């Protein structure tokens, strides 16, 4: 699997080559059809400076949503 190239997650466009931006991205890897996309739903900054980001994926079927929390903490150098 190519982990370096940018994944082409958008639909092909007939004008992309005329505008030139497709070439500036370099080689693209194919879209991973099995990938699960999470959307940022909110973020909170607490009094200690910790940032909490909440991401969610709402499946199209009857499955429950996926929720992921990312916590960022400032670490002071020794």
DSSP 14-54: TTHHHHSHHHHT--EEPP-TT----EEEEEEE-TTS-EEEE
Residue 7's pLDDT is 66
Residue 22 and residue 43 share a domain: no
pLDDT number for residue 32 = 81
> How confident is the model over 5-60, as pLDDT tens digits?
666 666 666 666 555 555 556 667 777 888 888 899 999 999 988 999 999 998 78
Query: What range does the domain containing 26 cover?
Result: 1-34
Regarding whether 61 and 23 lie in a shared domain, the answer is no
Domain co-membership, 66 together with 28 = no
pTM for this predicted structure = 0.56
Residue 40 confidence (pLDDT): 94
Same domain membership, residue 43 and residue 28: no
Residues 50 and 21 placed together within one structural domain of the fold: no
Give the pLDDT confidence score for residue 63 in this predicted structure. Answer: 83
- Name the more confident of 75 and 13: 75
């Amino acid at each position: 699997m190519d982990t370096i190239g940018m994944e082409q997650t958008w639909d092909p466009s007939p004008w992309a080559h005329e505008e030139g931006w497709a070439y500036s991205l370099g080689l693209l890897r194919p879209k991973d059809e099995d990938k699960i996309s999470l959307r940022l739903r909110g973020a909170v900054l607490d009094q200690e400076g910790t940032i909490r980001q909440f991401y969610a994926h709402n499946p199209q079927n009857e499955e429950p949503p996926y929720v992921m929390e990312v916590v960022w903490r400032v670490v002071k150098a020794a």
